[in-house]
Amino acid sequence: MNLSDSQTAGHGIRRVSAMEAVLAHLRGAIEHGEYAVGDKLPSEASLSKEFEVSRSVVREALRGLQALGLTVSRTGKGTFVTASGPAENPTFGPYSARDLFEVRRHVEIPVAGYAALRRSTDDLDLLTHLLERMEHETDNTAWVALDSLFHITIAQASGNPVFGKVIEEIRDALARQSSFLNQLGDRRVKSNGEHRKIVTAIADGSESAAVSAMTAHLEHVENALTTIVTKTTVTKTTKRTP
């Protein structure tokens, strides 16, 4: 079964990555009962051969399953199914999505307002530079790194170093979540547009506009994640025999 980009892209339909195709296939198999709770998934090498993709693609797909709460990875033993459907509150590293959104709503929204009032010329130059790089970046991994730095820079532009430390603490989890949403929610282009509105408001020195722009951005991110988690399948298949 070949799941390369070229064979998973339909006419007039958003191009689907190999990772997304593998993840969707495995998620469907779990939700349909082909793999029951407690079952061990095939090894990375076996899945790589079955889907005709690299092991790195398989590894990313397995991380996606784990983030959705469908599996758990046990060192030296493999990946095991832990649920027949995605968790309402997926995890990204040590933090759950709920943890992240609560913190981001209470920190990043007021921080954007402070940044609009206190940002320096250097802060604004860096934000503009990061925004332009993100808008031209095509590699997801590089974009995610820039995205993390973008949000940290806004926190630093607030003039309060504590805010920067808070965002630094959750930086890895934010990166995992961002990568997940880009691959399964096609968020990158939309995020670029939302980021530009935030930077424009900060550049204009408008606290209310910056708060509004950041609020809208976080709401879109949360809605995208909810859509991915609640996505259901309708086709039923029989459980795979050993």
pLDDT for position 97 = 92
Q: Look at residues 107, 130, 118 and name the one whose alpha carbon lies nearest to residue 205.
A: 118
Average pLDDT over residues 96-121: 96
Give Cα 4 distance to the centre of its chain: 21
106 contact partners, CB below 8 Å, separation of at least 6: none
For the chain, the domains span 5-86, 91-228
Which carries the bigger pLDDT value, residue 96 or residue 1? Answer: 96
* Per-residue exposure over 90-115, b if at least 16 CB sit within 10 Å of its own CB, e if not: bbbeebbbeebbebbeebbbbbbbbb
**Can you tell me the distance from the alpha carbon of 118 to that of 164, in angstroms, rounded to the nearest whole number?**
14
pTM value?
0.77
Query: What would the pLDDT profile of 53-83 be if each residue is shown by its tens digit?
Result: 999 999 988 988 988 889 998 988 999 999 9
Q: What is the CATH number of domain 91-228?
A: 1.20.120.530
Percent of the chain past pLDDT 70, that is, above it, reads 88
- For residue 99, what are the contacts with CB-CB under 8 A and spacing of at least 6? none
CB 187 within 8 A of CB 224: yes
Amino acid symbol at 204: D
The CATH number of 5-86 is 1.10.10.10
Looking at the predicted structure, is the pLDDT value of residue 13 above 60?
no
Task: Convert the pLDDT of each residue in 185-238 to its tens digit.
Answer: 778 999 999 999 999 999 999 999 999 999 999 999 999 999 888 864 433 333
